[in-house]
Amino acid sequence: MSYSSKPGFVALALMTMVALLLAACDSGNPTTTPTSGGSGSSGGTSVGNPTATTDNSTSAGNPTPATASGGGSGSGGVLPSDSFVAGLATIKSYHMAYTATIGTNTNKVNGDFIFSDNANNAPAKANITIDDGSVKVNYIVIGSTALESKGGGPYQPSSMGKLDTDDYASAFKLGLQMLTPGAMKAVGSEAIAGVDCIHYSYSNPSAKVGNTQDDVWVAKSDNTVRKLKGVNAPGPYASTTIFTISNVNGVSDITAPK
């Protein structure tokens, strides 16, 4: 895939992620199926010359710990109706690892986001690397300034502006908003990037359109979503999208390249 095709593929990946999650809005009579949580990457990779300085601070505020109604931290409980998005208000920064596989194409994103107030808003700063399998492009956004570096080359004003960094953070939030918590059941506990989480799952294996399964992992300690996964129905554009969130409230700064 050429560099010029990257923006279109990124947009397709994001739109597909939204399509994958739409089916979760149907609470219906879902079948809960425990799934492996090892398919998403955790942590991140270093990106180019700029640095994203991190520390190990904990989540802000005093959010309510995640609990599964009727199931505690184990299996069988139903996720409370507001739990997917409630934790966003306590997040001021995070590291995101995103993977979208669409047909035979795979798009990967790794990077840090700092929000102006919390994760309900657009990022104020971001440092991400997008890898479409043929070239890696690093984007740095600080306020209204957006820079990009193709294949380790020099930074220049980004032709995409803030689009890429804003879209990935927005897509994660939108994915959470489009899920129906009452349709998802707790299927166990699992660690995501070293954080103990409750794993919730929704499965509709007979779906002909949209997703056949959605999974979300919610941190027991602070009620923030640490992983979101959607699997599309089989077909020529069969897709899997995964967001893994780590280092919550631990990104202290993102600086411009020198």
Residue 152's CB is within 10 A of a number of other CB atoms, namely 11
The 10s digit of each residue's pLDDT in 211-252 is: 788 899 999 998 899 999 988 877 777 889 999 999 999 999
Q: Is-contact 145 125, C-beta < 8 A? A: no
Domains of the chain: 3-254 (2.50.20.20)
- The pLDDT of residue 144 is 86
Structure tokens at 145: 């300034």
- Compute the CA torsion angle 45, 49, 55, 59 (nearest 10 deg): -70
DSSP state of 26: -
Backbone torsions φ then ψ of 127, nearest 5 degrees:
-145, 100
92 Cβ partners below 8 Å, 6+ apart? Answer: 60, 114, 115, 117, 118, 119, 249
Q: Is-contact 198 224, C-beta < 8 A? A: no
The 10s digit of each residue's pLDDT in 75-124 is: 456 555 566 788 899 999 999 999 998 888 889 999 999 998 999 998 99
Residue in 142, 88, 134 with CA at minimum distance from that of residue 108: 134
